[in-house]
Amino acid sequence: MQTHYLGTEEVRGYLRDFVARLKVLGESGPKVWVPIGTSGRELVKELIEVSKDLDGEFTPVPAEFDRQKSAVIFENDAAGQILGKNVLVIDSSVHSGYTMRAIVDKVCALGAVGICSYTLVMKRGASFIPSYWGVSIGDYDRAYFLLKSLPNNHFHDGGSAFGQVRERPAKITHPNRDPYFHLRKLSKSDLERPSILSGLSSLDRTTWADRYYDMLNHEGRITYLLEAGLAIHGYVTIDFRNGSILSIEAVAVDKALHGRGYGAALIRWAETLARQSQCRTITLWSIKDQMPTYKRLGYSIELEKRSIVLDGEEYAFLSKPVLYHL
Protein backbone atom coordinates (compact mmCIF):
# COMPACT_ATOMS: atom_id res chain seq x y z
CA MET A 1 0.00 0.00 0.00
CA GLN A 2 1.30 3.45 -0.91
CA THR A 3 0.31 6.71 0.71
CA HIS A 4 0.17 9.75 -1.56
CA TYR A 5 0.47 13.25 -0.13
CA LEU A 6 -0.81 16.07 -2.32
CA GLY A 7 0.03 19.53 -1.03
CA THR A 8 -2.21 22.54 -1.55
CA GLU A 9 -0.25 23.77 -4.58
CA GLU A 10 -0.33 20.32 -6.21
CA VAL A 11 -4.08 20.04 -5.68
CA ARG A 12 -4.64 23.52 -7.06
CA GLY A 13 -2.42 22.73 -10.02
CA TYR A 14 -4.69 19.82 -10.97
CA LEU A 15 -7.74 22.01 -10.43
CA ARG A 16 -6.36 24.84 -12.57
CA ASP A 17 -5.85 22.34 -15.39
CA PHE A 18 -9.43 21.13 -14.98
CA VAL A 19 -10.78 24.70 -15.04
CA ALA A 20 -8.86 25.37 -18.25
CA ARG A 21 -10.44 22.32 -19.85
CA LEU A 22 -13.89 23.46 -18.77
CA LYS A 23 -13.33 26.93 -20.25
CA VAL A 24 -12.41 25.40 -23.61
CA LEU A 25 -16.02 24.13 -23.74
CA GLY A 26 -17.29 27.72 -23.77
CA GLU A 27 -21.07 28.06 -23.78
CA SER A 28 -21.49 24.28 -24.06
CA GLY A 29 -19.80 23.84 -20.66
CA PRO A 30 -21.82 22.48 -17.70
CA LYS A 31 -24.01 25.14 -16.11
CA VAL A 32 -25.25 22.88 -13.31
CA TRP A 33 -22.74 21.31 -10.90
CA VAL A 34 -23.61 18.35 -8.66
CA PRO A 35 -21.04 18.05 -5.84
CA ILE A 36 -21.26 14.74 -3.99
CA GLY A 37 -21.35 14.98 -0.21
CA THR A 38 -19.13 17.15 1.98
CA SER A 39 -15.97 16.32 0.04
CA GLY A 40 -17.53 17.33 -3.28
CA ARG A 41 -18.67 20.67 -1.86
CA GLU A 42 -15.21 21.35 -0.44
CA LEU A 43 -13.60 20.58 -3.80
CA VAL A 44 -15.94 23.08 -5.48
CA LYS A 45 -14.77 25.70 -2.97
CA GLU A 46 -11.17 24.99 -3.98
CA LEU A 47 -12.09 25.30 -7.67
CA ILE A 48 -13.55 28.73 -7.01
CA GLU A 49 -10.37 29.64 -5.11
CA VAL A 50 -8.17 28.85 -8.10
CA SER A 51 -10.49 30.57 -10.57
CA LYS A 52 -12.60 33.31 -9.02
CA ASP A 53 -14.49 33.88 -12.27
CA LEU A 54 -16.22 30.51 -11.79
CA ASP A 55 -18.24 31.94 -8.91
CA GLY A 56 -21.77 32.58 -10.11
CA GLU A 57 -21.20 30.82 -13.44
CA PHE A 58 -22.98 27.61 -12.42
CA THR A 59 -25.92 26.45 -10.33
CA PRO A 60 -24.95 24.09 -7.48
CA VAL A 61 -27.24 21.11 -6.84
CA PRO A 62 -25.52 19.15 -4.02
CA ALA A 63 -26.28 15.42 -3.78
CA GLU A 64 -25.85 12.67 -1.21
CA PHE A 65 -26.06 8.91 -1.71
CA ASP A 66 -27.79 6.87 0.99
CA ARG A 67 -26.18 3.43 0.72
CA GLN A 68 -28.59 1.84 3.15
CA LYS A 69 -31.52 2.73 0.88
CA SER A 70 -29.54 2.89 -2.41
CA ALA A 71 -31.10 6.30 -2.93
CA VAL A 72 -29.79 9.59 -4.33
CA ILE A 73 -30.85 12.63 -2.28
CA PHE A 74 -30.59 16.15 -3.71
CA GLU A 75 -30.38 19.25 -1.55
CA ASN A 76 -32.23 21.56 -3.98
CA ASP A 77 -34.95 21.27 -6.63
CA ALA A 78 -32.86 18.98 -8.81
CA ALA A 79 -35.48 18.21 -11.41
CA GLY A 80 -36.15 21.87 -12.15
CA GLN A 81 -32.47 22.77 -12.30
CA ILE A 82 -31.14 19.79 -14.28
CA LEU A 83 -33.75 19.32 -17.00
CA GLY A 84 -32.34 20.30 -20.38
CA LYS A 85 -28.91 21.34 -19.01
CA ASN A 86 -25.33 20.15 -19.29
CA VAL A 87 -24.26 18.91 -15.85
CA LEU A 88 -20.97 18.32 -14.02
CA VAL A 89 -20.92 15.63 -11.28
CA ILE A 90 -17.93 16.19 -8.99
CA ASP A 91 -16.33 14.49 -5.97
CA SER A 92 -12.93 14.56 -4.32
CA SER A 93 -12.29 10.83 -4.70
CA VAL A 94 -13.69 7.77 -6.45
CA HIS A 95 -13.13 4.38 -4.83
CA SER A 96 -15.45 1.71 -6.18
CA GLY A 97 -17.22 4.20 -8.46
CA TYR A 98 -20.60 2.97 -7.25
CA THR A 99 -21.70 6.31 -5.75
CA MET A 100 -20.71 8.45 -8.72
CA ARG A 101 -22.37 6.08 -11.17
CA ALA A 102 -25.60 6.08 -9.15
CA ILE A 103 -25.69 9.86 -9.14
CA VAL A 104 -24.81 10.13 -12.84
CA ASP A 105 -27.67 7.70 -13.60
CA LYS A 106 -30.06 9.79 -11.53
CA VAL A 107 -28.97 13.04 -13.19
CA CYS A 108 -29.53 11.40 -16.57
CA ALA A 109 -33.02 10.28 -15.50
CA LEU A 110 -33.83 13.88 -14.55
CA GLY A 111 -33.34 14.99 -18.14
CA ALA A 112 -29.78 16.32 -18.36
CA VAL A 113 -28.68 16.95 -21.95
CA GLY A 114 -25.06 16.01 -21.25
CA ILE A 115 -23.19 14.81 -18.17
CA CYS A 116 -19.46 15.05 -17.46
CA SER A 117 -17.70 14.16 -14.21
CA TYR A 118 -14.54 14.94 -12.24
CA THR A 119 -12.62 13.56 -9.29
CA LEU A 120 -9.30 14.64 -7.85
CA VAL A 121 -8.25 11.08 -6.83
CA MET A 122 -9.42 7.87 -8.50
CA LYS A 123 -8.63 4.27 -7.60
CA ARG A 124 -7.58 2.31 -10.67
CA GLY A 125 -9.98 -0.55 -9.93
CA ALA A 126 -13.04 1.72 -9.89
CA SER A 127 -15.97 0.42 -11.91
CA PHE A 128 -16.83 3.96 -13.04
CA ILE A 129 -14.21 6.20 -14.66
CA PRO A 130 -15.06 9.95 -14.65
CA SER A 131 -14.65 12.19 -17.68
CA TYR A 132 -11.75 14.00 -15.96
CA TRP A 133 -9.53 13.11 -13.01
CA GLY A 134 -6.37 14.33 -11.39
CA VAL A 135 -4.48 11.37 -9.87
CA SER A 136 -4.89 7.59 -10.23
CA ILE A 137 -3.83 5.44 -7.27
CA GLY A 138 -3.81 1.71 -6.52
CA ASP A 139 -6.84 -0.01 -5.05
CA TYR A 140 -5.23 -0.36 -1.62
CA ASP A 141 -3.40 2.97 -1.71
CA ARG A 142 -4.62 6.06 0.06
CA ALA A 143 -4.29 9.75 -0.67
CA TYR A 144 -4.09 12.71 1.69
CA PHE A 145 -4.56 16.19 0.31
CA LEU A 146 -4.93 19.82 1.35
CA LEU A 147 -2.99 19.10 4.53
CA LYS A 148 -1.28 21.90 6.45
CA SER A 149 1.24 19.39 7.79
CA LEU A 150 2.04 15.71 7.29
CA PRO A 151 0.02 13.64 9.75
CA ASN A 152 1.06 10.95 12.16
CA ASN A 153 -1.76 8.75 13.35
CA HIS A 154 -2.58 9.35 16.98
CA PHE A 155 -5.27 8.72 19.54
CA HIS A 156 -5.94 12.32 20.52
CA ASP A 157 -8.16 14.59 18.45
CA GLY A 158 -6.60 17.31 16.35
CA GLY A 159 -7.91 16.74 12.82
CA SER A 160 -10.98 18.17 11.17
CA ALA A 161 -13.04 17.64 8.06
CA PHE A 162 -11.47 17.53 4.61
CA GLY A 163 -7.90 17.02 5.61
CA GLN A 164 -7.30 20.19 7.58
CA VAL A 165 -5.02 19.61 10.55
CA ARG A 166 -5.61 22.10 13.34
CA GLU A 167 -2.69 23.73 15.03
CA ARG A 168 -1.69 21.57 17.97
CA PRO A 169 -0.49 23.03 21.28
CA ALA A 170 3.16 22.51 22.13
CA LYS A 171 2.20 21.06 25.49
CA ILE A 172 -0.70 19.06 26.87
CA THR A 173 -3.37 21.55 27.88
CA HIS A 174 -5.80 19.09 29.47
CA PRO A 175 -4.34 17.69 32.70
CA ASN A 176 -6.22 14.38 32.40
CA ARG A 177 -5.31 13.63 28.78
CA ASP A 178 -1.86 12.28 28.03
CA PRO A 179 -0.21 9.96 25.47
CA TYR A 180 0.84 7.35 28.04
CA PHE A 181 -1.35 4.49 26.89
CA HIS A 182 -1.56 2.00 24.04
CA LEU A 183 -3.93 -0.54 22.52
CA ARG A 184 -3.43 -4.26 21.99
CA LYS A 185 -5.58 -7.24 21.03
CA LEU A 186 -7.24 -9.23 23.77
CA SER A 187 -5.24 -12.43 24.35
CA LYS A 188 -5.63 -15.72 26.18
CA SER A 189 -3.42 -14.45 29.00
CA ASP A 190 -6.10 -11.85 29.85
CA LEU A 191 -8.86 -14.34 30.62
CA GLU A 192 -8.22 -14.51 34.35
CA ARG A 193 -7.96 -10.76 34.78
CA PRO A 194 -10.94 -8.86 36.21
CA SER A 195 -13.10 -7.06 33.69
CA ILE A 196 -13.42 -3.30 33.85
CA LEU A 197 -16.58 -1.79 35.32
CA SER A 198 -18.02 0.83 32.98
CA GLY A 199 -21.23 1.37 34.92
CA LEU A 200 -23.38 -0.17 32.15
CA SER A 201 -24.68 -3.55 33.23
CA SER A 202 -25.35 -4.64 29.63
CA LEU A 203 -21.58 -4.37 29.00
CA ASP A 204 -20.18 -5.26 32.41
CA ARG A 205 -21.75 -8.70 32.56
CA THR A 206 -19.64 -9.83 29.56
CA THR A 207 -16.27 -11.31 30.59
CA TRP A 208 -12.92 -11.29 28.79
CA ALA A 209 -13.48 -15.02 28.22
CA ASP A 210 -16.75 -14.25 26.40
CA ARG A 211 -15.04 -11.71 24.16
CA TYR A 212 -12.05 -13.96 23.51
CA TYR A 213 -14.40 -16.82 22.57
CA ASP A 214 -16.14 -14.48 20.09
CA MET A 215 -12.77 -13.59 18.55
CA LEU A 216 -11.94 -17.27 18.02
CA ASN A 217 -15.32 -18.19 16.59
CA HIS A 218 -16.35 -15.11 14.60
CA GLU A 219 -14.03 -14.12 11.79
CA GLY A 220 -13.60 -10.37 11.69
CA ARG A 221 -14.51 -9.74 15.32
CA ILE A 222 -11.69 -8.29 17.45
CA THR A 223 -11.48 -6.78 20.93
CA TYR A 224 -8.74 -4.23 21.58
CA LEU A 225 -7.73 -3.34 25.14
CA LEU A 226 -6.63 0.14 26.13
CA GLU A 227 -3.80 -0.13 28.64
CA ALA A 228 -1.77 2.38 30.64
CA GLY A 229 1.25 0.46 31.82
CA LEU A 230 -0.21 -2.92 32.80
CA ALA A 231 -3.63 -1.59 33.82
CA ILE A 232 -6.63 -2.10 31.52
CA HIS A 233 -8.64 1.12 31.33
CA GLY A 234 -11.07 0.31 28.51
CA TYR A 235 -11.77 -1.67 25.37
CA VAL A 236 -13.48 -1.62 22.01
CA THR A 237 -14.93 -4.62 20.18
CA ILE A 238 -15.30 -4.28 16.41
CA ASP A 239 -16.82 -6.57 13.80
CA PHE A 240 -16.30 -6.39 10.04
CA ARG A 241 -19.54 -7.14 8.17
CA ASN A 242 -20.09 -7.74 4.46
CA GLY A 243 -16.68 -6.31 3.67
CA SER A 244 -18.02 -2.75 3.60
CA ILE A 245 -19.30 -2.13 7.15
CA LEU A 246 -17.37 -1.94 10.41
CA SER A 247 -19.62 -2.40 13.41
CA ILE A 248 -18.53 -1.12 16.81
CA GLU A 249 -20.04 -3.84 18.96
CA ALA A 250 -18.97 -2.37 22.29
CA VAL A 251 -16.84 0.45 23.64
CA ALA A 252 -16.28 0.93 27.35
CA VAL A 253 -14.01 2.76 29.78
CA ASP A 254 -13.63 2.14 33.49
CA LYS A 255 -16.18 4.40 35.19
CA ALA A 256 -13.49 5.88 37.45
CA LEU A 257 -11.64 7.13 34.35
CA HIS A 258 -14.45 8.77 32.37
CA GLY A 259 -13.63 12.18 30.92
CA ARG A 260 -10.00 11.46 30.07
CA GLY A 261 -10.51 10.96 26.35
CA TYR A 262 -10.09 7.18 26.40
CA GLY A 263 -13.49 6.51 24.84
CA ALA A 264 -12.80 8.94 22.00
CA ALA A 265 -9.41 7.30 21.43
CA LEU A 266 -11.06 3.89 21.09
CA ILE A 267 -13.60 5.27 18.60
CA ARG A 268 -10.82 6.89 16.55
CA TRP A 269 -9.00 3.55 16.39
CA ALA A 270 -12.16 1.84 15.09
CA GLU A 271 -12.54 4.57 12.45
CA THR A 272 -8.89 4.14 11.42
CA LEU A 273 -9.45 0.39 10.99
CA ALA A 274 -12.57 1.06 8.91
CA ARG A 275 -10.68 3.41 6.61
CA GLN A 276 -7.68 1.11 6.19
CA SER A 277 -9.99 -1.85 5.51
CA GLN A 278 -11.86 -0.07 2.70
CA CYS A 279 -15.13 0.03 4.66
CA ARG A 280 -17.80 2.52 3.64
CA THR A 281 -19.81 2.76 6.83
CA ILE A 282 -19.33 2.50 10.60
CA THR A 283 -22.29 1.48 12.75
CA LEU A 284 -22.88 1.23 16.49
CA TRP A 285 -25.59 1.05 19.14
CA SER A 286 -25.42 4.07 21.46
CA ILE A 287 -26.96 4.37 24.88
CA LYS A 288 -29.35 7.30 24.92
CA ASP A 289 -27.29 9.69 27.07
CA GLN A 290 -24.20 9.20 24.88
CA MET A 291 -25.93 10.10 21.62
CA PRO A 292 -24.94 13.82 21.71
CA THR A 293 -21.27 12.78 21.92
CA TYR A 294 -21.56 10.47 18.91
CA LYS A 295 -23.46 13.10 16.94
CA ARG A 296 -20.56 15.53 17.52
CA LEU A 297 -18.29 12.84 16.06
CA GLY A 298 -20.39 12.71 12.89
CA TYR A 299 -22.74 9.82 13.64
CA SER A 300 -26.43 10.05 12.80
CA ILE A 301 -29.38 8.02 14.00
CA GLU A 302 -30.94 5.48 11.64
CA LEU A 303 -34.62 6.23 12.02
CA GLU A 304 -35.78 3.00 10.41
CA LYS A 305 -34.04 1.00 13.15
CA ARG A 306 -36.05 0.71 16.34
CA SER A 307 -34.30 1.37 19.62
CA ILE A 308 -33.62 -1.58 21.90
CA VAL A 309 -33.57 -1.94 25.68
CA LEU A 310 -30.90 -4.00 27.46
CA ASP A 311 -30.91 -4.27 31.25
CA GLY A 312 -33.12 -1.21 31.42
CA GLU A 313 -30.79 0.84 29.18
CA GLU A 314 -32.17 2.21 25.89
CA TYR A 315 -29.91 2.02 22.82
CA ALA A 316 -30.30 3.67 19.40
CA PHE A 317 -28.65 2.58 16.14
CA LEU A 318 -26.20 5.12 14.65
CA SER A 319 -24.05 5.16 11.53
CA LYS A 320 -21.34 7.26 9.92
CA PRO A 321 -19.88 7.25 6.38
CA VAL A 322 -16.15 6.54 6.14
CA LEU A 323 -14.10 9.36 4.62
CA TYR A 324 -10.79 8.48 2.98
CA HIS A 325 -9.18 11.86 2.39
CA LEU A 326 -8.70 12.85 6.04
Kindly report the CATH number assigned to the domain that includes residue 207.
3.40.630.30
DSSP 8-state class, residue 164: P
Looking at 41-55, 206-220, 223-237, which range is the least confident one? 41-55
Confidence of residue 151 (pLDDT cuts 50, 70, 90): low
Residue type, 117: S
Contact of 82 with 111, CB cutoff 8 Å: yes
Domain limits for position 294: 175-321
Kindly list the distances between the CA atom of residue 120 and the CA atoms of 6, 87, 123, 144, 270, in Å, as whole numbers in the listed order: 10, 18, 10, 11, 26
Please report the pLDDT score of residue 173 as a whole number. 43
Question: Are 270 and 237 a contacting pair, CB within 8 Å?
Answer: no
Highest mean pLDDT among 49-63, 176-190, 224-238: 224-238
Residues 292 and 187 occupy one common structural domain: yes
pLDDT digits 0-9 by tens, 105-135? 999 999 999 999 999 999 999 999 999 999 9
Pair (119, 14) in one structural domain = yes
% residues pLDDT > 70 (the chain): 89
pTM higher than the cut 0.75: no
Mean pLDDT rounded to a whole number for the chain: 85
Give residue-wise pLDDT tens across range 254-280.
999 998 889 989 999 999 888 878 788
Average pLDDT over residues 177-193: 88
In a domain, residue 150? The reply is no
**What pLDDT score does 305 carry?**
75
Averaged pLDDT for residues 147-161: 60
Tell me, yes or no, whether 257 and 299 share the same domain.
yes
User: Do 266 and 198 fall within a single domain?
Assistant: yes
Q: Are 217 and 125 members of one domain?
A: no
pLDDT digits (tens, 9 = 90+) for 41-75: 989 999 999 888 887 788 999 999 887 788 888 88
* Boundary-marking domain end, from 123, 145, 167: 145
pLDDT at 215 > cutoff 90: yes
Counting the structural domains of the chain, the total is 2
Instruction: Choose between 190 and 160: higher pLDDT.
Output: 190
Rounded to an integer, what is the distance from CA 158 to the centroid of its chain? 16
CATH code of the domain covering residue 101: 3.40.50.2020
pLDDT of 175 reads 43
| Ramachandran region, residue 229 (left: φ > 0; alpha: ψ -120 to 50; beta: rest) | left
